[in-house]
Amino acid sequence: MGKILVIAEHRDGKLSDGTKELCKVAKEMAEMSGNTAAAAVFSADDAIAKEVSKYIPEVLSGVDAKLAQYTADGYSQAAKSVIEAGDVAGVVISHGYDGVDFAAQVAMSIGAGIVSGINKVEFSDGKFVFTRNIYNGKLQEQRSVKTDKFVVTVEKGAWDKEAAGSEGTITSVDVAVGDVRTTVKEVIETTKGAVDISQAKLIVAGGRGTKDAEKYQATVVALAQKLKGEYGASRAVVDAGWTDHARQIGQSGKTVAPDLYIGLGLSGAIQHVAGMKGAKCIVAVNKDPEAPIFNIATYGIVGDLFEVVPAMIEALDS
């Protein structure tokens, strides 16, 4: 028996949704393997620990002034001391921006194997078997760890959020946080004052397949205007400068939930899907029949968007 230990993720006094998913995963893993589920919360006070205890039976609260703000050094040192103090079978961290920043450091510091971005877990012959996406989600692999303890990062949205219950037990734990080698200067909003597409009811979004800035305008923007909706983009389109960062949909951009989302020339990478899977009706137009977006779309057309979009505009006119 050991603990399947969640490392909670929070910012500005708010617990992340990803942490609630981690609580679900940890309970599932604990049940299949005969372990127990617990969470470690690192902060400057125990307010978040109280919140986390609604989702998991046991919370270990590590309080230190150096943990007021997330830093990779602060979190990995605190995690190491908690893992070494208790009987921890494995550590479960969210595959988000903070998680990928410190999870490997935790694994290396305790000498454990790490499997990142898992979206499924099974327990067979006494060990966990983790499934994860590879090759942009076109394939998946299964991997296990060879060390006594494991560290995994969990793909966002792969599990549902655990529902809140009554508060569980909270135990204070000593965390030894020494030298923190990075200094957080400030957190800035990069899309301040720009258009906000997060509340739009209809969104047409374009991906790399829209080819260039001019063609993105002629297809994505034109169709959005025809349908009196907003237009958005994948990361690749924003990186290439075909439209503004404020129109980026996905993990690093906006989260949208329109009644209708039309994706043009978009493969449906997991980071993009994270920001639009709440759409009620999803349409995908892509020339690659194996594009992952067809796995979440309501309707799909396998074809050339430069032929399909003008034909759609024509059909809307008649």
Partner 1 sequence: MKIVVCVKQVPDMESKFVVVDNKKIDEAQIAFKMNDFDEFAVEAALQIKEKMGGEVIIVSAGPERVVKDIRQAFAMGADWGIHIKDPEIDAGDSTVIASAIHKAIEKIGDADLVLTGVMSEDNQFTLTGVMLSHLMDIPHGTNIVKLEVADEKSITVNRELEGGLNEVIEMSLPAVLSIQSGLNQPRYPTLPGIMKAKKKRLDVMTAADLGLSEVGAAGSKTEFIKMFVPVSEHKAEIIEGDAKTAAAALVNKLKNEAKVI
- Cα separation, 99 vs 93, in Å, equals 6
Nearer to partner 1, 1 or 187 (CB): 187
User: Are the C-beta atoms of residues 28 and 61 closer than 8 Å to each other?
Assistant: no
**Binding status of residue 96 toward partner 1 by CB under 8 A:** yes
Nearer to partner 1, 175 or 309 (CB): 309
Binding partner 1 by CB under 8 A: which of 19, 35, 61, 133?
133
Nearer to partner 1, 49 or 103 (CB): 103
Q: Say how many C-beta atoms besides its own lie within 10 A of residue 145's C-beta.
A: 18
Q: What is the helix (H) or strand (E) element at residue 123, kind and residue range?
A: strand 113-124
**Binding status of residue 104 toward partner 1 by CB under 8 A:** yes
**Binding status of residue 100 toward partner 1 by CB under 8 A:** yes
Q: CB neighbours of 97 closer than 8 A, spacing ≥ 6?
A: none
User: Are the C-beta atoms of residues 195 and 134 closer than 8 Å to each other?
Assistant: no
Total residues contacting partner 1 (rule CB under 8 A)? 95
**Binding status of residue 246 toward partner 1 by CB under 8 A:** yes
Pairing state of beta strands 14-15 and 10-11? antiparallel
Nearer to partner 1, 55 or 102 (CB): 102
Q: What is the helix (H) or strand (E) element at residue 305, kind and residue range?
A: helix 305-317
Map the footprint of partner 1 across residues 168-227, applying CB under 8 A. Answer: 181-191, 202, 227
Nearer to partner 1, 60 or 88 (CB): 88
Binding mask 27-66 for partner 1 (x = CB under 8 A): ----------------------------------------
- Token digits of residue 136: 């942009």
